[in-house]
Amino acid sequence: MNFDFQVKELGIEYGVILGNEKIVFIKCGLLGSLRGYHDKYLKVAKELNKEYGYTVVCSTNPDLGKIDQLQLGINFITNLAKDNNLLNFEIYYMGNSLAGMYGAKYGYLHQEIKKMLLINAPLLKNVDLLLSGLRKFNGDKVVLVYGEADPSFKNTELLKLVSNDKVFVEIIKNADHNFTNQEVIFENLIFKYLL
């Protein structure tokens, strides 16, 4: 099991499975692997492509300092879409951990992003910017998922300050930041909350 192809640009690795104009962009947490622990991102990508024909782009999240990795990913996807004649593409974004925070803070800047699933996005740092970004999101929906044992769970009350009827919060019982021993639940989040 593998991606159709892999590319490395500006220190970020991308794994691509080509399909139709619905593009699912999966960005892992800081320093996470392209395929994910036990291939969780690759499994989800393959299933999305098989079941729905979606194009899927998985991306690593190296420590690049203050470089806007969400923007770099959108640039990569825009070029990929152009090169593969996917002219009316739209993006469904799934960001895990720090990548979830990128989506919350900056997703509204990208009109191509129609839906976002943000998993265990840290709520302890830059919370004002995160809440402001969620308030401004004008796509179809954002679902923030937190495990009860995630460090940010105790701060999820802050999300009630977002006055945007497109933003939803879901809590997963007994899940920690990494969904330890709950890989199947993690893999199904995208099907349950993003599609």
In tens, the pLDDT along 25-58 reads: 999 999 999 999 889 999 999 999 999 999 999 9
Q: Kindly tell me the sign of the dihedral angle through the C-alpha atoms of 181, 183, 120, 7.
A: positive
Confidence of residue 8 (pLDDT cuts 50, 70, 90): very high
**Distance separating alpha carbons of residues 164 and 77, to the nearest angstrom:** 27
φ, ψ of residue 14 in degrees (nearest 5): -125, 135
Q: Which residues pair with 27 in a beta bridge?
A: 59, 95
In this model, does residue 1 exceed pLDDT 90? no
- CATH number of the CATH domain containing 26: 3.40.50.1820
- Taking each helix axis from N to C terminus, what angle separates 98-106 and 69-83, rounded to the nearest 10 degrees? 80
Least confident of 92-96, 123-127, 131-135: 123-127
Write out the residue range of the structural domain in which residue 127 sits: 5-194
How far the first Cα of the chain sits from its last, in Å, is: 23
pTM value is: 0.95
- Taking each helix axis from N to C terminus, what angle separates 98-106 and 127-136, rounded to the nearest 10 degrees? 50
In this model, does residue 67 exceed pLDDT 90? no
In this model, does residue 100 exceed pLDDT 90? yes
In tens, the pLDDT along 141-184 reads: 999 999 999 999 999 999 999 989 999 999 999 999 999 999 89
Q: Which residues pair with 116 in a beta bridge?
A: 93, 142
- The number of folded domains in the chain is 1
Q: Which residues pair with 146 in a beta bridge?
A: 171
Q: What is the rounded average pLDDT for all residues in the chain? A: 95
Cβ–Cβ under 8 Å, residues 25 and 57: yes
Tokens of residue 151, six digits: 């460090």
More confidently predicted of 124 and 11: 11
Q: How many helices, marked H, and strands, marked E, lie in the chain? A: 5, 8
